[in-house]
């Protein structure tokens, strides 16, 4: 049983790495695959960092506002993924090179997400 599971995981990893390294995937397909993997591992708490980084890779800048990020996600996933509703999200690139999002819920609560490796 364990041997079959190990083989299955190994096979999936090899197939995924082959797809990523072959260059045969479009950005949209790789975004969808990457999102599916991170959603399974981390849940929806990673939505904003994941999609903000995807936006930044595609547009070479941070989103101006949460609406722009939501439109990007909708286009990239053919409306299959919807981000959690927030009243407002402010994006920032910190001096350390990390990215930060200040999220304001519809109830008025604020949470701050910071991600990425700091520059050395």
User: What confidence tens digit (pLDDT) does each residue in 69-98 have?
Assistant: 999 999 998 888 888 889 999 999 999 999
- In total, how many domains does the chain have? 1
Question: In this predicted structure, which of 4-13, 87-96, 98-107 has the lowest mean pLDDT?
Answer: 4-13
Count CB neighbours of 29 within 10 A: 12
User: Buried b vs exposed e over 87-119: b needs ≥16 C-beta within 10 Å?
Assistant: eebebeeeeeeebbbebeeeeeeeeebeeeeee
Structural element, H or E, at residue 71: helix 66-76
Average pLDDT across the chain, whole number? 79
Q: Residue 10: pLDDT above 80?
A: no
**Do the domain assignments include residue 86?**
yes
Assigned domain for 6 exists = yes
Q: Is the pLDDT of residue 40 over 60?
A: no
Q: Which of the four pLDDT bands, split at 50, 70 and 90, describes residue 119?
A: confident
In terms of residue numbers, what domain contains 43?
A: 2-115
Is 120 among the domain residues? no
């Amino acid at each position: 049983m364990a041997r079959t599971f190990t083989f299955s995981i190994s096979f999936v990893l090899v197939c995924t790495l082959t797809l990523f390294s072959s260059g045969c995937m479009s950005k949209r397909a790789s975004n969808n695959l990457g999102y599916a993997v991170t959603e399974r591992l981390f849940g929806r708490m990673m939505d904003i960092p994941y999609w903000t980084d995807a936006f930044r890779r595609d547009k070479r800048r941070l989103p101006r506002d949460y609406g722009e990020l939501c439109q990007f996600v909708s286009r990239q996933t053919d409306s299959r993924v919807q981000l959690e509703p927030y009243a407002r999200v402010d994006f920032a690139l910190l001096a350390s090179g990390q990215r930060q999002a200040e999220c304001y819920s519809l109830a008025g609560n604020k949470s701050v997400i910071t991600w990425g490796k700091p520059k050395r």
